[in-house]
């Protein structure tokens, strides 16, 4: 498995197939319009088994405020692993590479809202809080 940045010459058919198998039906034109600028900015990585895209992840340029100061934060999103490659270390390798990639680009923080607490999320993230609502 080779991890490398996705490039504008990306095989979009493979990317869309992976997205549909990971997340269900997607609006192809909308997804491509949203992802193309992220790929062009170098904010997406892919896990490749030969020429086959086995997984991908991206990050969004975000900020968190600490003591009145904006600190760069990589908002991890779009993590997708082909079903046949799950539980084989692909997610862990991809997420580790993404954290290294964002750190090299000056992001001391990253955030991931995982739909589950296993696999790739557990490899690089610690549970730091929860969303909730209180009413008086």
pLDDT in tens, 55-86: 999 999 999 988 999 999 999 999 999 999 88
State the burial class of residue 135 (Cβ atoms within 10 Å of its Cβ: 0-12, 13-18, 19+): exposed
Q: pLDDT in tens for each of the 136 residues of the chain?
A: 899 999 998 899 999 999 999 888 888 889 899 999 999 999 999 999 999 999 999 999 999 988 999 999 999 999 999 999 888 999 999 999 999 999 999 999 888 876 655 555 555 555 455 555 666 6
Q: What is the C-alpha to C-alpha distance for residues 41 and 18, in angstroms, rounded to an integer? A: 21
- Phi, psi angles (nearest 5°) of residue 47: -105, 120
Architecture of the domain defined by 2-124 = 3-Layer(aba) Sandwich (3.40)
119 conformational bin, left if phi > 0, alpha if psi -120 to 50, beta if neither: left
* 3-state SS, residue 83: helix
Give me the residues paired with residue 50 across strands: none
Domain ranges of the chain: 2-124
pTM value > 0.85: no
- Its sign, for the CA torsion 118, 122, 126, 131, is negative
**Count of alpha carbons within 13 angstroms of residue 10, beta-carbon side:** 27
- Written as six digits, the tokens of 36 are 């193309």
Q: Which residue has the tokens 């009413």?
A: 135
> Percentages helix, strand, coil for the chain, rounded to the nearest 5?
35, 30, 35
């Amino acid at each position: 498995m080779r991890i490398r940045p996705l490039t504008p010459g990306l095989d979009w058919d493979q990317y869309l197939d992976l997205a549909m198998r990971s997340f269900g039906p997607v609006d192809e034109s909308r997804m491509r319009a949203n992802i193309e600028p992220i790929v062009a900015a170098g904010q997406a990585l892919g896990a490749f088994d030969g020429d086959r895209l086995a997984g991908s992840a991206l990050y969004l340029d975000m900020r968190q405020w600490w003591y009145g100061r904006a600190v760069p934060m990589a908002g991890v999103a779009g993590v997708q692993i082909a079903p046949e490659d799950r539980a084989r270390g692909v997610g862990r390798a991809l997420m580790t590479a993404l954290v290294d990639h964002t750190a090299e680009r000056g992001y001391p923080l990253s955030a991931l809202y995982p739909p589950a607490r296993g696999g790739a999320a557990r490899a690089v993230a610690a549970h730091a809080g929860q969303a909730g609502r209180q009413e008086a």
